[in-house]
Amino acid sequence: MSCPHKHVDEDAVATAVKTTPLVWRNLDERAQNEAFEKHMHREFAPGASEWHDPVSRRNFLKIMGASVALAGAAGCIKYPEEAIVPYVQPPNDLLPGRPMYYATAMPFDGHAWPMIATANEGRPTKVDGNPDHPASLGSSTAIGQASVLQLYDPERAQIVTYAGQATDWSTFQVEILKEMRNFKATDGRGLYFLMTPSSSPTLAKQIAEFQKAYPNAKWHVWEACANHGARQASIASFGRAVNTVYRFDQASRILSLDSNFCVDEQGSLIYARQFVNGRRLRRPDKKKPVVREVIESDWQNPTYVESGNATMNRMYMVETNYTPTGAMADHRLALPPSQIEDFARAVAAGLGVAGVTAPEAASMSEGAGGNRGTQFVQAVIDDLKQAGASALVIPGRNQPASVHALAHAINQQLGAAGKTVIYTDPVDINPVDHVESIRALATDMNAGHVDTLFIMDGNPAYDAPADLNFVELLDKVRLKIRSGLYYDETSMYCHWHLPASHFLESWSDARGYDGTVATIQPLILPLYQGKSAHELFALLSGDITSTGQELIRNSWKDVKDDDWETALCKGVGLGAAPATVDVTFNASALNNAKAQATAKDALEVSLPPDPAIWDGTWSTNGWLQELPRAITKLVWDNAALMSKATADRLGVDSESLLQLKYVDGAGREQSMTVAVWLVPGHANDCITLTLGYGRKNVKAIGGVEPMDNLGFNAYPLRKAGNLNYTIVTAIPAKGRYPLSSTQLHQNPEGLDLVRFYSGTEFASGNAEYPEQEGYVPGIENRQKDVRLSLYPEFDYAHGHRWGMVVDDNACVGCNACVMACQSENNGPIVGKDQVSRYREMHWIRIDSWHFGDESNPITVFEPVMCQMCEHAPCEEVCPVNATTHSAEGINEMTYNRCVGTRYCSNNCPYKVRRFNFLRYNDYYTPSLKMVRNPLVTVRERGVMEKCTYCIQRIDITRIDVKRAEVARDSALAQQTVDGRTNPEYNPDEAKRQQNVIHDLMMGLQTACQQSCPTEALVFGDMNYRRADQKPVRINELKNQPQSFGLLTEFNTQPRTSYMSRFRNPNPSLESKPLFYPIKTEEG
């Protein structure tokens, strides 16, 4: 993309002295190297105007010639004849054309995300967070958003199979009941179950009953990416299983020990919200000082913490890979996985935790921090000590039990336990240590004790620890029965495969991260022959008649019918969060054993779950595969992530191959080849390789390539003794592996696209911000600021005036908005090859801008979607009026007018328009037709598209508001009849309709906004006047002094505005707070 505002003289660029830019997007840009220059000099993406179908150009012309001729003929053909098929007996409350909403929840990782699912004429098409449930408060995660695609995945197991051959449930039923009768004689000896963790109270009851009937049956649990360290440490530290809940709303100083708590902890939706709440600085009134704003659940009605001076929390992060939470940290130290425990121990010792000795200072001086390590530890100790009970230490899910125990000890020592950290009964129905559990199972399998093995969900043949040799042990089991959504690696080794039902097809119950019960109800009958775990257990117990609904209802039979209905309607109400439990910390949980030092030429490989496809369960989900991962922006692949220093030492670069030599489960030397990707801020002398890739015989939805060729399987590296990381030796290998990363795609070019300041300076009012050309905060001022334009100004004084605010200070880069947008707006999947040609189709992208040193950058996430310019450059160049301006200020995109010239995209300085170079939408797979939102056109090849502010939601709300206005006005008209006061006039009706209007206006959210856990995106009508005279939230935010616009120097007058990021650096580590943009002499 060339610089849109000035001509780039190539010679001048070549001869200019290369200076390191202050903000940069990737390491090439920072180094201003050839690759980056080449990228910048190219006006269009590589291959932007070439034909990349297998069809040759010659064939294309032939086909096109024929198409033109046929199109002429087709114009004379009558409209296709369609049928209308109404119901025989319409379901209650259903009005065709109006979606229905149901409260449900998605079980994940032993807890549940409460959801509201949308059904259009019986098809679930969208899921969102449940605002009534304390574990969601309306927000959702990227994986949660993509779960609706999984329901319609054509790769799902559809029938019961025995030894790979199709059979049916009744055959299985006969067989299994025969087996169960035999087991009855031995009380279930030799009957083993391997399950994934669950939080379902009903399942707990069913298992307890089953155990009563078959006392010798054994229960094992394994989930590859569960929080193993927390489970182990809880038993060791407190002598019992507890659930640790963190209260970020009570915390002023936070230390994260490799915890990506804004994104991948069980309570992340709430943790991210509470953490960001502690950092929102607002000036509620122009005359008042800056205070902190807190949004509990109703985002339209925030409260303000008048604390005299604005207090922000401060977060320290110690981690290996650069995670989104790390980017939110005020100070960050990158350490190899083995040294994070050293760091935790140094902090514990510094705070005076009994029984902990500080490691030698030298052990943290390696790593990316250099000798920053020691200084960093001291600053953290001092700050935590000062904060006392309002400090919070959270260990990561990828950390060993020892780090979790140290975190417990530090929280106890600081007095934080009970305040910022609370302990409750476990959410998990079987809170055992998974590693011990699967190891015990492996021992029994090896000893031949296992006669029949039920594997319910999970995929142990793929993801069990490598040293257990699980696949070989399966041979020693007489009968293997598998229940799961997919016929996967594990199913191939099992006799029976039983299709499981998706959560949107089944009745169940579950608990949120805090223990509050959520109900799970189906929106659709099972598409295939799936059965839920409850139905399967009922079948094993000989109950072949009860439906899933009856099983769940009977398990809650104490609940009255009315309460049950309410609980189903709200998704919450069956059980509140469990009370906190008193625990005493057992210091013997702390061991001072030093982790084995890694040899000089060896590298540690950290093995976290993939941010999108998690442990591999979501491999087939094309939406998640194509989701640009935070920071790396990689899609469709994992890679060996490492720092530039490490790559230089090894002699490799991004996309080159690296051979990793490791010891496999059987103790043999093995090697695997992985592609390298350089990441700023990664710890030195170690690699991060995410789990979940390299699966066999898996095809992702929308994926052109078979998955076998995508990514690298990291599970062979993972052993039961240390799931966290493994040690390898690495040598460069020949060849290259192309990776697709969107980091430099669709970039805007201009001044100061991102801003960050010190929060304290902002609050004190002493900070001087460079003024932005073409932008004045505050909507009243904006109108005064309208500058010369060739086109007439629009008049927005009447009707709606939609606008948006994006708060960079709140965006944690979790990607939920990207998924929500794709789900809401029928976004297609384009595949890895098309992404490498800059053709990804996401309407919203999260730009990550780095500032400063490549080993320890400051990073700001900035979601960018169509800015709805009031002087829109795209509108002026469209030759067919396919993109126009609406009376409400929306830049409309009319697909059926678009002829695909792409002028608009070329003229868009924000690069937010997406073009359908090929027919990306799958028109043929029947099940995938069902996932589409019927209110949004499915775009054809050759059509431009972009963010519409979710115009379909706006339209339906506008219509409903108008209908309510009509009803209100006709109610008011009843006041008089024939000029006399009407005695039967009821003033409540008009008031009720006015409330309907208010609720509709306040409830209107775009899909991205609805999913956001931190309210980083706020949408609304800038002309709406509330009855209570409070300012509409969007206007309040636009009036904030930290408000700014993107590329306003071009006089585009974007309707979307941004708010700058605030940092809260510790003066002892950063005496002069850094900020950006910096005033330079050139301006």
Partner 1 sequence: MAQIFHPSMNTVAKGSILGAVITLGLIGFIIGGVVRSPYITQEDVPRAQPVPFSHEHHVGGLGLDCRYCHTGVEDSPFAGVPATKICMTCHSQIWTNASILEPVRESWRTNTPIRWNRVHQLPDFVHFNHSIHIAKGIGCSACHGQVDQMPLMWKNQSLEMSWCIGCHKNPEAQIRPRDQVFNMKYQQPSNQAELGAELVAKYNVNKRQLINCSVCHY
Binding footprint of partner 1 on the chain (CB under 8 A)? 75-76, 78-79, 81-90, 95-98, 798-799, 884, 886-888, 890, 892, 894-897, 935-938, 948, 951-952, 955-956, 959, 962-963, 965-966, 969-970
- Nearer Cβ to partner 1 (734/798): 798
CB 1055 within 8 A of CB 868: yes
End-to-end CA distance of the chain: 24
In angstroms, the CA 750 to CA 1050 distance is 9
- Nearer Cβ to partner 1 (297/982): 982
Q: Which residues contact 897 (CB under 8 A, 6 or more apart)?
A: 880, 881, 882
In the bound complex, what is the minimum distance in angstroms from residue 1025's beta carbon to partner 1?
Answer: 16
- Nearer Cβ to partner 1 (463/888): 888
In the bound complex, what is the minimum distance in angstroms from residue 1000's beta carbon to partner 1?
Answer: 14
- Nearer Cβ to partner 1 (84/599): 84
- Nearer Cβ to partner 1 (67/371): 67
In the bound complex, what is the minimum distance in angstroms from residue 94's beta carbon to partner 1?
Answer: 10
Strand pairing partners for 773?
none
Least Cα distance to 781 among 1001, 1045, 1020 occurs for: 1045
In the bound complex, what is the minimum distance in angstroms from residue 121's beta carbon to partner 1?
Answer: 10
Tokens linked to 988: 């409540």
In the bound complex, what is the minimum distance in angstroms from residue 966's beta carbon to partner 1?
Answer: 5
Residue 683 amino acid letter: A
In the bound complex, what is the minimum distance in angstroms from residue 1035's beta carbon to partner 1?
Answer: 21
- Nearer Cβ to partner 1 (96/765): 96
Residue 411 amino acid letter: N
- 1068 CB neighbour count, 10 Å cutoff: 12
DSSP helix/strand/coil, 445: helix
- 428 CB neighbour count, 10 Å cutoff: 22
- Nearer Cβ to partner 1 (714/950): 950
CB 819 within 8 A of CB 846: no
Tokens linked to 1083: 């301006």
Residue 98 amino acid letter: R
- Report the sign of the C-alpha dihedral through residues 489, 492, 495, 500, in that order: positive
- What are the phi and psi torsion angles at 14 (to 5°)? -65, -35
In the bound complex, what is the minimum distance in angstroms from residue 1030's beta carbon to partner 1?
Answer: 24
- Nearer Cβ to partner 1 (497/946): 946
- Nearer Cβ to partner 1 (97/706): 97
The total number of residues shown for the chain amounts to 1083
In the bound complex, what is the minimum distance in angstroms from residue 808's beta carbon to partner 1?
Answer: 28
In the bound complex, what is the minimum distance in angstroms from residue 998's beta carbon to partner 1?
Answer: 17
Strand pairing partners for 193?
219, 454
- Nearer Cβ to partner 1 (962/991): 962
- Nearer Cβ to partner 1 (54/75): 75
- Nearer Cβ to partner 1 (99/131): 99
In the bound complex, what is the minimum distance in angstroms from residue 87's beta carbon to partner 1?
Answer: 4
- Say what the alpha-carbon torsion angle 484, 487, 491, 495 is, to the nearest 10 degrees: 90
In the bound complex, what is the minimum distance in angstroms from residue 66's beta carbon to partner 1?
Answer: 19
In angstroms, the CA 83 to CA 86 distance is 10
- Nearer Cβ to partner 1 (645/956): 956
In angstroms, the CA 191 to CA 947 distance is 54
In angstroms, the CA 986 to CA 666 distance is 82
- Nearer Cβ to partner 1 (87/791): 87
In the bound complex, what is the minimum distance in angstroms from residue 959's beta carbon to partner 1?
Answer: 4
- 732 CB neighbour count, 10 Å cutoff: 14
State how far the alpha carbon of 671 is from the alpha carbons of 696, 730, 787, in Å.
Answer: 18, 9, 64
In the bound complex, what is the minimum distance in angstroms from residue 1005's beta carbon to partner 1?
Answer: 17
- Nearer Cβ to partner 1 (52/98): 98
In the bound complex, what is the minimum distance in angstroms from residue 1033's beta carbon to partner 1?
Answer: 23
In the bound complex, what is the minimum distance in angstroms from residue 81's beta carbon to partner 1?
Answer: 7
Strand pairing partners for 105?
114
- Nearer Cβ to partner 1 (236/1022): 1022
In angstroms, the CA 345 to CA 373 distance is 13
Burial of 701: CB neighbours in 10 Å, binned 0-12, 13-18, 19+: buried
- Nearer Cβ to partner 1 (173/894): 894
In angstroms, the CA 162 to CA 169 distance is 11
Strand pairing partners for 878?
none
In the bound complex, what is the minimum distance in angstroms from residue 886's beta carbon to partner 1?
Answer: 4
In angstroms, the CA 539 to CA 516 distance is 28
Burial 472-488 (b: 16+ CB within 10 A, else e): ebbeebebbbbbbbbbb
- Nearer Cβ to partner 1 (182/881): 881
In the bound complex, what is the minimum distance in angstroms from residue 952's beta carbon to partner 1?
Answer: 5
Least Cα distance to 253 among 422, 371, 421, 424 occurs for: 421
Burial 355-387 (b: 16+ CB within 10 A, else e): ebeebeeebbebbbbeebbeebbebbbebbeeb
In the bound complex, what is the minimum distance in angstroms from residue 259's beta carbon to partner 1?
Answer: 41
Tokens linked to 242: 């507890």
- Say what the alpha-carbon torsion angle 250, 255, 258, 263 is, to the nearest 10 degrees: 30
- 956 CB neighbour count, 10 Å cutoff: 16
At which residue do the structure tokens 């304390």 appear?
134
- Report the sign of the C-alpha dihedral through residues 806, 811, 815, 817, in that order: negative
Cα-based angle 291, 297, 298 (whole degrees, multiple of 5):
80
DSSP state, 497?
E
